[in-house]
Amino acid sequence: MTQPVFFAHANGFPSATYGKLFAALAPEYEVQHLELHGHDPRFPVNDNWSNLVDELIHHLESCATPVWGVGHSLGGVLHYHAALRRPELYRGLVMLDSPVLTRADRVVIRAAKRFGFIDRITPAGRTLGRREEFADLDEARRYFAGKALFQRFDPECLDAYVRHGLHGGGSGLRLRFDPATEISIYRSVPHTSPGRPQQLQLPLALVRGRHSRVVLAHHARLVRRVPRGEYLTLPGGHMFPLERPQETAQLLRALFARWAGQGSGEACA
């Protein structure tokens, strides 16, 4: 029987960018997703991402059964907050290079918002002024392939980003993920949490890219406070799900199989 997975993407990367990862999970797992987080006017981006969590919960509520939640970066944090609020919607949760923030992290973020240096501690500053328009797909692919963030992408994932990350017609192509929304998401990164790690009774895995500068050692220590939490690594950096989609899928399959064998479904039914 096919098991449902609900995937939530990283900021700025439409879900279709991860198509190779989704395909590697088939046919045992059926991946559901929201194509663009933060673009539904019913759930505008707000401070601490509470509306984005509401948006995710809204879609999870339409699933027939509890899901395996998987999120990359932004998506992992949204799933974590949603699981603290509505654990009955989940069988388990995998955060792909998404930090579980400590109290000290949240204090720094709150101060950064208050005193105006949030753009220096999030990617918002690097996002300002990003190129938004391209003549055609070939030009866009050459442009992104030359950027450090994309240089280690699996070629099929890079192609998927160019195909699905842009839209337009005869007058050129524009980024599908609204740059103003992307910046707003970075600037409103949560300094609050709907609960403590110890409250989460679901199986949770934080998977770090080995060379990531986003998930750090103190985040791993916090995950170990989750009763069924674990910390794992894969080769690559922060974007490892798009650099190594096959290896990421293999790890997800192994986690889901092990957790199902431990009765996670019954615990969340």
Whole-number pLDDT of residue 262: 78
Which of 200, 188, 185 is CA-nearest to residue 80? 200
Q: Show the domain range for 25.
A: 3-109+184-268
**H or E stretch at 81:** helix 74-85
- Residue 235 predicted with pLDDT over 90: yes
Q: Evaluate whether residue 224 is within a structural domain.
A: yes
Q: What's the average model confidence in pLDDT over 223-240?
A: 96
How far, in Å, CA of 120 to CA of 106, rounded?
A: 15
- Looking at the 3D structure of the chain, how many domains does it have? 1
Confidence of residue 28 (pLDDT cuts 50, 70, 90): very high
Which of 207, 199, 9, 224 is CA-nearest to residue 95? 207
Whole-number pLDDT of residue 266: 37
What is the per-residue pLDDT across 41-98, written as a single tens digit (0 to 9) for each?
Answer: 999 999 999 999 999 999 999 999 999 999 999 999 999 999 999 999 999 999 999 9
Domain with residue 237: its CATH number is 3.40.50.1820
Q: Is 210 helix (H, G, I), strand (E, B) or coil?
A: coil
Q: Evaluate whether residue 99 is within a structural domain.
A: yes
Confidence of residue 263 (pLDDT cuts 50, 70, 90): low
How far, in Å, CA of 179 to CA of 77, rounded?
A: 20
Q: Evaluate whether residue 24 is within a structural domain.
A: yes
Mean pLDDT lowest among 31-40, 70-79, 166-175, 238-247: 166-175
Residue 205: strand pairing partners = 94, 230
Q: Evaluate whether residue 124 is within a structural domain.
A: no
